[in-house]
Structure formats: C-alpha cells, structure tokens
C-alpha cells in the first residue's frame, strides 16, 4: 500500500519513512505544502500523513484543496501539542484522524492500518480468502494453518490484492501501489512477483487463489 508523507522536519520524515517501509509500505515524501498537494493530486496514495505546519502552503490548506476537488484519500493530520483549534478545524475540513506531536511510531502505524482497513471496507485486522489468512497488523500469512514466509515486497503485493479481493487489479495499479514514485519499475516486474507469490501461496495447494485475467491483470479469489 502506498503512503504519501508530507512533513517538513527532515529527520522526522526520515524516521517515519523508514519505519513504514520496514512494515512493507511504499512511501512518497514531500517537504512542503505545495509539493504535497501536487503529489497528492498526481500520484494517488492509499493514505496521506499530513503535517499542519508546513512551508509554502499549510497542511489545512492542502487538505481543504484536496477535499474541494473531490479527493477523499484518508488523511491523518500531525499537530502540535496545544493546537486544539487546528485539530477541530482539521476534522471539520475532512481529516480522518489526527496525531499529536511528539508521538510513538507504533501509534501512527496503528492509525494508518486502521484507515486502510476502513478504506477497503475490511473491519477486522485479519483478511480471509478461502483458507488463506492475512494478518494486516502482524503481517503474518497462513494458508490452511501453515505459516508462509514472504519478503516485504511479496507481502505488500499480497496485501494489496487482498484489499482488492474479488476485483481485477491491473499491472499499472500494482506498480503504482507497491513502488515509490522515485523508483524506475515497469509492469513486467509485477509478473515476476506474482510468480514468487504463486510459488508460496498456491503451489502446494489444490485450490488456486491467484488468478490471471488475460489482458486485464490479476485477481485474488476462491475458485
């Protein structure tokens, strides 16, 4: 899943980015409001972490501009400890959640996961497709009770397919959601990772869950 982080404190943004990437997320970073607004409009993300105090264009203005244009990407605002009015205004403007600085990274991570599940209409942390179980909190994957070990990239791809279960996902959509904007990947790489997943998820099982839709993309569903 792809996260846009808009934060001008570079040390903090580096820490957040590294932490999210270690959890398998793809992270794009902007360091001012104008850049953040441009990236949000041109490089769709699954969630946005948006600081309120930003140079060039403040976070509330960025949020307002996105919502006025119909962009309903879930947004978590990062606010100062005593900025109660900013929190209220942010929620009224359309923010989905807020977090007060300083914060523990684990809390930010939990809120990101909650927003992504809500966006995908998945209420529980564990997604089930047949006998496949994907724990989006622990990133543990099991098939018929057997633990399956995946790389961070493999997990990111599987989780994205799981959030979109029963729906066809194109190669372009996959590239957009599991690679950052500064990477140089083409859709052929997707086929390689799909094969990696099939070898781990489907190879030893009679019922296949990962299906190719010729000319369209891939779908994760029960046969």
Return the domain boundaries, the chain: 2-119, 126-220
| Domain 2-119 shares a fold with domain 126-220 | no
DSSP letter string, 44-109: --SEEEEESS-SSS-HHHHHHHHHHTT----EEEEE-TT-HHHHHHHHHHT-SEEEESS--HHHHH
pLDDT given for residue 116 in this prediction = 87
Which pLDDT tens digit goes with each residue over 43-61? Answer: 889 999 999 999 999 999 9
The pLDDT of residue 212? 94
| pLDDT at residue 184, as a whole number | 54
Structure confidence at residue 185 (pLDDT): 57
Fold of the domain built from segment(s) 2-119: Rossmann fold (3.40.50)
Cβ pair 33, 63 in contact under 8 A: no
Contact predicate 68/45, CB 8 Å: no
* Predicted TM-score (pTM) above 0.85: no
The pLDDT value recorded for residue 174 is 84
What integer pLDDT is reported at residue 175 of this predicted model? 81
CATH architecture of 126-220: Orthogonal Bundle (1.10)
CA–CA separation, 20 vs 14, rounded Å?
10
Average pLDDT over residues 25-34: 94
**What pLDDT score does 180 carry?**
62
Which tens digit of pLDDT belongs to each residue from 87-133? 888 888 899 999 988 899 999 999 999 888 888 777 678 999 999 99
């Amino acid at each position: 899943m792809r996260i846009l982080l808009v934060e001008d404190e570079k040390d903090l943004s580096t820490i957040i980015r590294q932490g999210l990437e270690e959890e398998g997320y793809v992270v794009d970073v902007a360091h001012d409001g104008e850049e953040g607004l441009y990236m949000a409009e041109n490089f769709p993300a699954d969630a946005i972490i948006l600081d309120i105090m930003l140079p060039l264009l403040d976070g509330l203005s960025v949020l307002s501009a996105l919502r006025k244009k119909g962009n309903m990407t879930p947004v978590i605002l990062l606010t100062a400890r005593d900025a109660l009015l900013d929190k209220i205004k942010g929620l009224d403007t359309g923010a989905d959640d807020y977090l007060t600085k300083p914060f523990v990274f684990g809390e930010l991570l939990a809120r990101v996961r909650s927003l992504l599940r809500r966006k995908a209409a998945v209420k529980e942390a564990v997604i089930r497709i047949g006998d496949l179980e994907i724990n989006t909190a622990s990133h543990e994957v099991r098939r018929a009770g057997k633990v399956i070990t995946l790389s961070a990239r493999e997990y990111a791809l599987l989780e994205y397919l799981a959030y979109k279960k029963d729906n066809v996902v194109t190669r372009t959509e996959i590239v957009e959601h599991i690679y950052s904007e500064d990477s140089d990947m083409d859709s052929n790489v997707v086929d390689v990772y799909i094969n990696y997943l099939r070898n781990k998820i489907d190879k030893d099982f009679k019922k296949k869950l990962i299906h190719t839709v010729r000319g369209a993309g891939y779908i994760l569903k029960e046969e």
